[in-house]
Amino acid sequence: MDESNAGLQLILETEKIAYKLKKRIISKPTGNKILVENSRAELILGNEFEKINYILSKFNLRCIIPLKELFEIKSGKVLAWFFINETKRPAIVEKEDRIEFAFDIGKTFLELVNERYYDVKEETHILSNTLIEKLYKNIPNKLRIFIYKKYYKKLHDKLKKSKEFNTLFPIDAAGFVLHNLFIELIKKNSDYVYIEYWPSQYKAVFMLTHDVEPTNYSYKKGIFILLSKLKLHKSTINLVSKYAKKKLIKTFSTENEIGCHGYIHDRKFASIGRKERNERVKKAKKILKKMFGREVVGFRAPALQKSKDLYDILWKNGFKYDMSMIDSQREEPGCGKGVSYNLPYHIFDFKNKRFKKILEIPTAAPDCISPLYFGYSLEDTAKLFEIKKKWIYSIGGVCNFIIHAPAWGKEDAEQRMWLLDNISNIDKKGFWIATGREVNDWWRKRGNILIKNKNTVINRNKDAIEFVICRYNQRRVVSLGKNEKRIIKWNQKY
C-alpha cells in the first residue's frame, strides 16, 4: 500500500463511507514539479467548501499545511489556492473528467497525523540529565515557573521565526481541513453514505486523563487530592507503576480507568534500546494489573516520548490504545510539532506499508497548566481550554485533556484542581463523557459495521450495537444484534 492511498483509506475508514464516485479524484498530481522553498503553505478554499470555511471563520483560523512537493496545474476551475511566499497558485482544480490536486493530499494527510512532516531525530529533554532533574525537583515551585517562563519564551520566539511547518497553538486546523476537504469532494461527486462517529445521542467526546508524575508529592498527597475531586468526574488515571502504592487501591472508584504512564519517568524512554523499552512496558503493565486486579489497556508514553517501535511493543504486551500523540505541542520535546487531529486513528507503519493495530486517541492541547509556564495567567489558561472544547465539539472530535495530579505542593495543587473544576463544566447533552477504554471499545465496534450497496448494514461484532447511518440529509438510528443484517429503507419516513 503506497502512502497516498493509505492516507485516503484512513479518511474513508474513519467516515465508514460506502460510495461510488461519479467523477475520478486524482490524489497523485501529474504536472511539472515546482520548487517549494519552505515546507509549508497556506491553503485557501473556494466557496464550494462552505461548511469547512464556516468552521474556520467561526474560530478565526487559518489553514497552513505541511507541503514538501507542489505540482503545476494549467487549466480548469480552481476550487482552492495555495499562498506560498506571497505567491498564489492553484491547489485543487475541477476538470471535465476529474478533480486534480497540485499536491498529494493522501500522503500529506498521512504524514501529518504520523508526525512525519519533519526530520525525526531522537527525542531528548533537558531533564533527561539525572543531576539536572534532581535539582529541578528540589527548587521552589515559584522559581520553577520563573525558569520555565524564561526558557519557553526563548523557545517560542525561535518558533515564530521558523519558516518550517509548525502546528498553531492551541488549535491547528490542518488535519481537520485535509480530512474534510477530501470528504466534501466525495459528497460533491458521489452517492454518499456514512456512519456518524459517536453513539446516537452524542456529538463529541469529553475525556479527562490524569498523568501522575513521579514526584514525592504526587504519590503521597497529590493523587489523593485528585481522587477526592474525581468522585464527580469519570476519568482515566495514568500511573507510573514503580511509584504506585497499594494504599491507592481502596481510593479508586470503578468509574476511574487505570492507564499506564510507563514503569519509570526518567525522560529517556525514546533513547533507550528496544529491549529495555519493552521490559519497562511489560513490567509496568504487570505491576498495575496485579495491584488493581484489572486489565490495563491504555498507555501514554512518559513525557510523550514516542519511538518507532512503540506501537508494536504496546500491542505485544496487550495494550489496545495509546495517547502519546498531541494535536499541537508547545513543550519539549517536539515543541511546535503535533498531529493536528482529534479523532481516533491507526498509526501507519511506513516501513512495512501497513497500519498498526494499536488505536491512537490523540491528546488535545493545552497540557494541563503548562500555559502558566509560557506566561499565561490561570484564567487565560482556562479560556484556552474553553475555546478548544468549542472547537472539538464543532468538528465532532475527542477532547482528550490532561490534568496532572498535583506534583509540587499546595499552590500547584490549588492551580490544577481549579483548572479541573473549570474545564469539567460542560454541556453533558452533547458531549459523551467517556474513559479512554470506552472510546477504544466504541471505535473498534463501529469499525466492525459493514455497509453494502448503500442500503444494507451488517453488524460483524460479537454483541449488539446502536449507531447512526446517514445519506444526503437523511439520518437513521439503527440497532443491530450480533451478526445481524438490515436493509435501510431510505425513502421511508421515520
Average pLDDT estimate for 228-255: 81
Whole-number pLDDT of residue 76: 87
26 has a pLDDT exceeding 90: no
In three-state secondary structure terms, 384 is helix
Whole-number pLDDT of residue 494: 44
Contact assessment for residue 406 and residue 229, using Cβ atoms and an 8 Å cutoff: no
Host H or E run for residue 98: strand 98-101
Q: What is the pLDDT of residues 293-333, one digit of tens each?
A: 889 999 999 989 988 899 999 999 999 999 999 999 999 87
Contact assessment for residue 263 and residue 303, using Cβ atoms and an 8 Å cutoff: no
Q: What is the pLDDT of residues 188-206, one digit of tens each?
A: 777 789 999 999 999 999 9
- 56's CB contacts (< 8 A; 6+ apart) are 62, 63, 173, 177
Average pLDDT estimate for 350-365: 96
Average pLDDT estimate for 276-290: 95
List of E strands, 230-338: 235-239, 256-260, 298-299, 321-322
Q: Which DSSP symbol is given to 221?
A: I
Q: What is the pLDDT of residues 92-148, one digit of tens each?
A: 999 887 889 999 999 999 999 999 988 765 555 655 556 666 666 677 878 888 888
Amino acid (1-letter code) at residue 365: A
The Cα 210–Cα 56 span in angstroms is: 30
Whole-number pLDDT of residue 186: 87
From the centroid of its chain, how far is CA 117? Answer: 16
Burial of 460 (0-12, 13-18, 19+ CB in 10 A): middle
In the structure, what pLDDT confidence band is assigned to residue 244 with cuts at 50, 70 and 90?
A: confident
Q: Which residue has 525514546 as its cell numbers?
A: 270
336 has a pLDDT exceeding 90: yes
The Cα 93–Cα 102 span in angstroms is: 8
> Cell for 152?
519557553
Whole-number pLDDT of residue 384: 97
Average pLDDT, the chain: 90
> Cell for 22?
461519479
466 has a pLDDT exceeding 60: yes
- Which domains, ranges and CATH numbers included, belong to the chain? 3-118+175-191 (no CATH), 204-443 (3.20.20.370), 448-487 (no CATH)
For helices 50-58 and 174-188, the axis angle rounded to 10 degrees is 160
Percent of the chain with pLDDT over 90: 67
Whole-number pLDDT of residue 493: 55
Whole-number pLDDT of residue 333: 79
Nearest to 9 by CA among 320, 348, 310, 340: 348
Cα distances (angstroms) measured from residue 303 to each of 21, 237, 325? 44, 15, 11
Q: What is the pLDDT of residues 391-444, one digit of tens each?
A: 999 999 999 999 999 999 999 999 999 999 999 887 667 999 999 999 999 999
Contact assessment for residue 319 and residue 260, using Cβ atoms and an 8 Å cutoff: yes
Whole-number pLDDT of residue 19: 65
Most confident of 154-163, 374-383, 425-434: 374-383
Q: What is the pLDDT of residues 27-57, one digit of tens each?
A: 567 778 876 767 899 999 999 999 999 999 9
> Cell for 93?
482544480
- CA angle 240/306/148 to nearest 5° reads 70
Lowest mean pLDDT among 125-139, 149-163, 327-341, 470-484: 125-139
- 361's CB contacts (< 8 A; 6+ apart) are 207, 321, 322, 323, 344, 398, 400, 436, 439, 440
Average pLDDT estimate for 273-289: 95
Average pLDDT estimate for 76-88: 90
Whole-number pLDDT of residue 490: 85
